[in-house]
Amino acid sequence: AVALTVACVRVELRMYRRCRTSAQIVKQPPHFEYIVRCDWGAPSGRGARWWDELPRSYTLRRRWLDIVRFHDTVMGMAFDSEHGVPRVEAKLPELPSPGDLDGFMHCVAATGDTNALSRRRSDWGGTGRPGDPWDELDLLHSMYVETRLGPYFEELSHVLAEVPPSMIQESAAFRKFVTNGAQCKPRDRSAFGPARERFCGPAAHYAEPEDLAGAVKAVLAKGGLLEKQAEIA
């Protein structure tokens, strides 16, 4: 069994952004960012599992679409659609509805701080008085994270504990969710760092030298040029 516990620590709100780069204009509508924590158990010791090389605990930043895709991936491993029977005994959780984006935006706007949800709770200036925007934001965040997302990820972790490790080992979508963009990866220490693509636009796509060499060989072999060169040599 795979000892993995997935939990949503908090939710952050990203406001609308419009950025002009040298290549294009990038528009990002307001959206939630879910801070997800992955806690792995002790390594299996077999050395053949890709998750044995990961840190025992780290956090991820995911959007709602990422969580929906991860839910579909886990449900596909936990339920045998061919025979119509589940592969696990744990209860299959239902995906909760997305958060009230408008309600969060109104509460954040009332605080006067667009980064309110990104700050520590100790830095919040709640007074306890009726109608205080910080207290309302704290209540709205707690209801969403602790009441709706908390039970869902807890049930999802119970399902993961019974999913066959071989299916997790072979699932590229599962591995992408728990590793891609993880904060445990080395950070870019260059002059621009992660802001390079934001200001300079997306990087140009080019083929690797090995791929170019293979393509050249394929074209030469198709035209019979390789055999002619071999005869001349």
* Strand partners of residue 106: none
pLDDT in tens, the chain (233 residues): 778 999 999 999 888 777 766 667 777 788 899 999 999 987 766 567 888 888 889 999 999 999 999 999 999 999 888 888 888 899 999 999 988 999 999 998 888 888 888 887 777 766 667 778 888 888 899 999 999 999 999 999 999 999 988 899 999 999 999 987 654 444 555 555 555 555 555 555 566 777 778 777 877 777 666 566 666 65
In 3D space, the residue among 12, 6, 8 whose CA is nearest the CA of residue 118 turns out to be: 12
Q: How far apart are CA 70 and CA 76, in angstroms?
A: 10
Question: Torsions phi, psi of 30, nearest 5?
Answer: -60, 145
